[in-house]
Amino acid sequence: MELENISEEIVLTLFKKKPFIKRINLDKEPQIFQFLTTTKANLKDKTQMRKIFKSAFILDSVDTLKYLSENEAEISIIEDRDIESAIESDSINSLMYYVENVGLENINEEMKLSFLKNKKFAERFNLDKEPHICKFLTTTNSNLKDKKQAKKLLKIALCCDSVDTLKYLVGKGAKLSSFTCEDIEKTVEYNGVNCLVYYVEVLGIENIKKSTVLALIKSKNIAFKNKLLDLGLDPHIDKNYLLHSSLNGYDSLIESDTLDEILNFIKRLLDAGCDLYARKCEILVCSIGLNQPKIVDLILGYSKKPYPKIGNRVQELIFGNKVDLVRVILSHCKGVCENLNYFFYLNRRLIKTEMTKLLLEFGICTSGKHGMDMVKYAINNKEIELADLLMKFNNNLDYTDVKLFRDAVYIGCTSVTEKYLQNQKFINDNLENEFINLCSKNQNSFIEMTIKCYTSSKKLQKKNSSRLKVSSLVNIKDQKLLEIAIKNENMEMINTLLEYGAIPLPEDKNLFLYSIKHENIDLMNHYLQVLSLNSKAHRDIICEGLAQAIQYTCFNIYDSLITFLSEESPTKRKKFERKKTTGEGKPKAVEVSENIKNISQNIKNDILQQACNVGNVEYARKAIGMGADVNGIEPRTLCNAYVSKNTDILDLLIENGIEKERIKEYEFVKVCTEGNFVKVKEMVSEGIDLNIYDGMQRINTRKDNLECQLNIFFYLYLHDCFSRFAIWKRMVDGDMEMFSRVWKTNLHSQPESKDEL
């Protein structure tokens, strides 16, 4: 359907709908101009011209208006309702075009008000401030002596908040008392506070009708209402309406300057004795709803009794995580806190950390049954952060609940554990058993914490003391804590126990041997301090440590122990120090004391054995010098030295008179390894003990004497030197030639142990 076929009323109605004009792409030039001017309508037809001109006016198309004006269209076509439509559509360009062509002085009073209501238009023509508004309104051909015209202009000035115009009109004889309550309500709606203040100042608040005063106090402008109070308005008017409507029209995003103004206004009313509890305490309800803690704080500061439903409101605020607001309310309403214990515990999962901290600050769920239940919940659910918060404010735990203590240790909750350890009853009743439990479970961090708390409770540490820390807890009677640490191989625990004064027992031999194995000089020193060289049993322990030191190549410890045994005054012992160890250490030249001479033969032999095992000929020689018997060591030591190519040990043992039988065994292994088949058969015929040769691994298959080695292996097998398992192992190792020879001798059975294979 073409534009010319639509009635004027419908066209104007459609073009006022912004979604419609946007949908048909008529929201901008030049599309509007093109649409309106490319029409079949006859522009000489006044009806068609009028329709198009009005459409262009509403659509804010100045180009079209100018084009139509050039085609004899007149601006007078525009009527008041068209101007209203243009203002409604915010067609500022069309309005400016209209004023420029008509002239401000030729616009009637009703239209002037309409123009002033359009902010963009007012700013464009500088009509947003005095005295321009007054000039605009009073530039009229109207007869001010005509009471109707004067009253009409007076109302326009009131709505436009033009005090200058009011004064001008009053000077011409207009009466402010002619304003009706509806006029005042309309001005309040437009926020014409300057005119309203002038109105009250001139008439006096006491001379204004109550209905009009009630209309005045509905203003949202705090400054205006403050001015009304200055002008004598009763603060208690209409059942304290001023107080309880203070926040009407505001939202939660109140600017700081406005908030300060509101606070001062509310304070003024409260100081004037306004009833806070009137109108169902609307001001408090509203300030809570707008999340305004400063206003709530001010109001509650004047309250003399609790608000009936404040507890329910606080619960809602807790769920909403309104921390500042809840803090203010709880600060003023102490009774609310008492009723929140069960609520807090019941909804603990739903309350956020910030709110939880706040509630705990006010003592909610920090004691009694609910307090302990909260701690159990935190520990059972491994919520360490919550447990830490609870301990920060909780002073009452059930110190008989040992399980909770153990659970706290298990999840690593330091705060709860420390709280238990600070309680004297728990220390007296349970600490020793729990400390043993901590040691058994390798709870290193809690071990030191427990010792410190125990030491502090017993006041064993002196102030400003530089002495070593000491605690009797580490030496509990009949409890070998160091032995537990050794069993757990927990070096950190060992060091902690020693640091706090743990004293080893002489029978803790494993502790001594452990200290040697791990070269823990400090632990070894502590142990040696409790030994007495006058005791043969104690000397035997030290001597056993000599063999252990050689076994783990701790030659510096060996030298230190020899020195220790050689001391003439064992009561003045020097502590050993860690020294750098090499794989081949040289023993110090120490004069052999009676204690060393009295070392048991087995220990001496063991020292020699360990020195041979690690291949240290110097310490082996020293052992022999102490009286070790080369024939008291393991029979295969000589053969092992040969296989290990440790010729120094080999020569040392032979030089010191090792039995001929051992030498013969060594020679047998040697000829087997070298592949001397003739010599092997000769020695076997002489009755050599074949068990000395304990595996085919001694025979290294080499290409240059492969045949001899295979013959030796097969020959020894026929003389029952090897088990079926050894044969199968040879096959697994890949020696198929040797295995196939043995197979031909009807070795068809499986190995004795498949698992071993």
Q: Comparing C-alpha atoms, which of 518, 380, 492, 507 is closest to residue 439? A: 492
User: What are the residue ranges spanned by the domains of the chain?
Assistant: 1-128, 661-745
Neighbours of 409 (CB within 10 A): 23
Which tokens belong to 569?
Answer: 């005054």
Q: Percent of the chain scored above 70 by pLDDT?
A: 75
Rounded to an integer, what is the distance from CA 562 to the centroid of its chain?
A: 57
Q: How far is CA 92 from CA 36, 57, 59, 162, in A?
A: 19, 10, 10, 22
pLDDT given at position 574: 55
pLDDT surpasses 80 at 436: yes
Q: How far is CA 382 from CA 116, 366, 377, 727, in A?
A: 68, 18, 8, 59
DSSP conformation letters of 503-527? ---TT-HHHHHHHHHTT-HHHHHHH
Q: Which residues of 48-59 are buried (b: 16+ CB within 10 A; e: fewer)?
A: bbbbbbbbbbbb
In this prediction, residues 516-545 reach a mean pLDDT of 89
pLDDT surpasses 80 at 462: no
Backbone angles phi, psi at 705, to 5 degrees: -135, 35
pLDDT surpasses 80 at 247: yes
Which tokens belong to 733?
Answer: 């190792």
Q: Are 262 and 222 in contact (CB under 8 A)?
A: yes
Q: Considering the chain, what is the average pLDDT of its residues? A: 79
In this prediction, residues 287-296 reach a mean pLDDT of 93
Which range of 157-166, 375-384, 697-706 scores highest in mean pLDDT? It is: 375-384
463: pLDDT confidence band, cut at 50, 70 and 90?
Answer: very low
Least confident of 61-75, 297-311, 546-560: 61-75
In this prediction, residues 36-64 reach a mean pLDDT of 69
Rounded to whole angstroms, the Cα distance separating 163 from 161 reads 6
Residues across the chain: 757
Rounded to whole angstroms, the Cα distance separating 192 from 614 reads 107
527: pLDDT confidence band, cut at 50, 70 and 90?
Answer: confident
pLDDT surpasses 50 at 467: no
Is the preceding omega at residue 131 within 30 degrees of 0, hence cis?
A: yes
In this prediction, residues 464-470 reach a mean pLDDT of 49
Q: How confident is the model over 159-198, as pLDDT tens digits?
A: 778 888 888 888 878 888 889 999 999 889 888 899 999 9
Rounded to an integer, what is the distance from CA 256 to the centroid of its chain?
A: 33
Rounded to whole angstroms, the Cα distance separating 583 from 555 reads 8
